[in-house]
Each structure stands twice: as structure tokens, then as C-alpha cells.
Amino acid sequence: MKKHFYHITCLLAFAITLIISGCSTPQKPQITPKIKTPDAIVNIKPVQKGPIEVSIASLQELDALFDKYQYSSESWENGKQKLPRITFEKVTDNWQKDSKNLPVETKKSFFFRLMAPLILMANENIIRERETVKHDPLNSPQLKKIALKYRLIKNKKNRITTTMRQTLLNKVDILPPSLALAQAAEESGWGTSRFAKEGNAFFGQWDFSGNGMKPKQQRKALGNYGVARFDSPLASVEGYMLNLNTNNAYNKLRTLRAQLRAENETISGLKLAGTLNKYSERGQAYIDGLREMIRYNKLQFVDNSYLADNRLIHLTGGKE
């Protein structure tokens, strides 16, 4: 999908007076071991009990929460790999005015630390699906459900062959967190775009259903398009990953990822970024920008990060 046309470039505190309400609780996993993949350690142990609700009304309170879980800006800069399970439903208006007064590095730090757990949660779900694809019988209803989701078959009556299973495995695979973080920052202006605020759209995915958010400068020649909206930031991450895993425009990404996995090499954001010339009209310049963002912000370490076993932390906000 091409990036949206309305892109606010100011940086986000994303956490300043972060008024966030609600939380999407990830589906409870059915598989319990840890799986070491060439690209990440994914913890798929079931999270116990319900989420912990924490009200956050200021940057200081968010800092204190991060410190409690050893998730400070210093630990992030030092390459902390075990990240707490934190999610939020949306951002509201307060951060947009307050972020202008924050140092750039502070804004980026909060953005990355809030988005990274969502990306790892989405990857956990993909790993569970991948295990089903690997081990279920070819006539398994759950396998067919996944095949439908990833557009391998058109209906549940379609037969799945051994060859098709391998094709599905090439689709059902994780995305490097460093790449997802860089694209989220690029596509949403560090969360400051109106699409991020109005529709939890962090990746600029297009929507031709008529339900998307309309750009202010829409090109009629391209049809009735808009920017896809999502129920939560986590849903936006999941939609982004499904897009890269199914859209024909990103065949090169899936081919390279499968090759790296077969060779037991790291599935890195720097490598896969080179396949995304069709994600943006900027082409190679877009690729170069993503790689520069990954390198400058030292995001490579996140590709080996994993989530802690702590209960999900449900962030809620104070008054606007």
C-alpha cells in the first residue's frame, strides 16, 4: 500500500499526558513453550489473569511505570531485550500540544517503548499461527481458517496440499520489530498525524472500501480511497503485518524472509527494508530513510527482543 498523503512531521511525546483509554487483550495462547527463531525469541506462554489497569495522567507517571518494569530510556538505549507487556487503545489530544516542548530524543524514546510491545504481541500471535500451519493435519479446520486469512484459499471447501502448506508458511511469519518501529514512526509522523489520532492508523494503509479516512488532498484518478482505520494501535500493527504477509506488492519481502530463515540467518529490519520499494511512491528514497532511522536510533537490537511473562498492563488516562 502507498503511504498516505497527509503526513504531519512534528515529533510526538506520544506519552505526554498520554490519555489513553482501554486496551485490547491479546488472544490467549494455546501453546506454552518458548520458541527460538532466527529473528526473535517469542514467548508464547499464556499470560496469567486479566490485565492490570494503570491510570497515566502525566509524563512523570509514565516514567515511574516504566521504571517499575525496568523499562527506562537508559535500558532501552542499552539494548534491553526483555520488554513488559504494555498496550493502549488510542492517543488523544493532549500530547499534540505538549510534545512541542519535549526534547526530540525523549519523544522518540516514548514512541518506541510504547509501540515495541504491540509489535511483539502481534508477532507472538503469528508464531502461534505458524505452529498450527506446521503441525496441523491438512484437513484441519484451524489450518483452513489461517489459509483463508492469509488468502491462500478462497473458501473452506478448498483442499490444502503439502505444497500449499509450505506456501502458507512463507506468508505466516513475523516481521522484524525494528522495521515495524521505523515504518510506524515514518508513516504516522511519530503518532502525530490526524490518521493516527482519529483512526489508530500508524502505517498509512489504504482502504478502498469507502470506510477509510479521506486525505485532505485526494487524487480522484486513484479512486475512492482513504486511509484504513483500526480499533486500536494493536489492531493497526496486526493489519500492517497481514498486509505485508499477503499483498502481492511485497512478494520480495516474503521471499527474502524465507531465504533468511532457511539459511538460519537473522531476519532483520535492515535487510527486509530493501524490499519495500512499493510501499511508498518515494521508492528507494523511502527505503534509504527507513534504514537510516533503524541505524540512527539503534533499533537493530529490538529484532531479538521478547515479552516478559508479566500480566498485560492496561494503560488508561486521566482527564483531558
pLDDT at residue number 45: 55
Question: Phi-psi region for residue 127, left (φ > 0), alpha (ψ -120 to 50) or beta?
Answer: alpha
**Alpha carbon separation from 299 to 110, 157, 226, 267, 295 (Å, rounded):** 14, 43, 30, 13, 7
pLDDT at 10 over 70: no
Q: What are phi and psi of 82, to 5 degrees?
A: -95, 110
CATH tag, 34-317: 1.10.530.10
Q: 206 forms bridges with which residues in the sheet? A: 227
Helix, strand, coil distribution of the chain in percent, nearest 5: 45, 10, 45
pLDDT at 21 over 60: no
pLDDT at residue number 88: 86
DSSP 15: S
**pLDDT, average across residues 298-319:** 87
The CA distance from 307 to 86, in Å, is 9
Query: pLDDT band at 221, cuts 50/70/90?
Result: low
Residues in the chain: 320
The CA distance from 268 to 260, in Å, is 9
Find the DSSP H helices in 15-72: 59-68
pLDDT at 161 over 80: yes
Express each pLDDT in 71-84 by its tens digit.
998 989 888 899 99
pLDDT at residue number 38: 45
DSSP 216: S
DSSP SS3 for 43: strand
Identify the residue with better confidence: 193 or 28: 193
Q: How open is the CA angle 194-295-124, to the nearest 5 degrees?
A: 65
pLDDT at residue number 257: 98
pLDDT at residue number 67: 92
The CA distance from 288 to 100, in Å, is 27
What average pLDDT does the chain have?
A: 83
pLDDT at residue number 101: 79
Identify the residue with better confidence: 32 or 192: 192
Residue that the C-alpha cell 497515566 belongs to: 56
pLDDT at residue number 133: 98
CA 108 to chain centre: 16
- Asked whether the beta carbons of 261 and 267 are under 8 A apart, the reply is yes
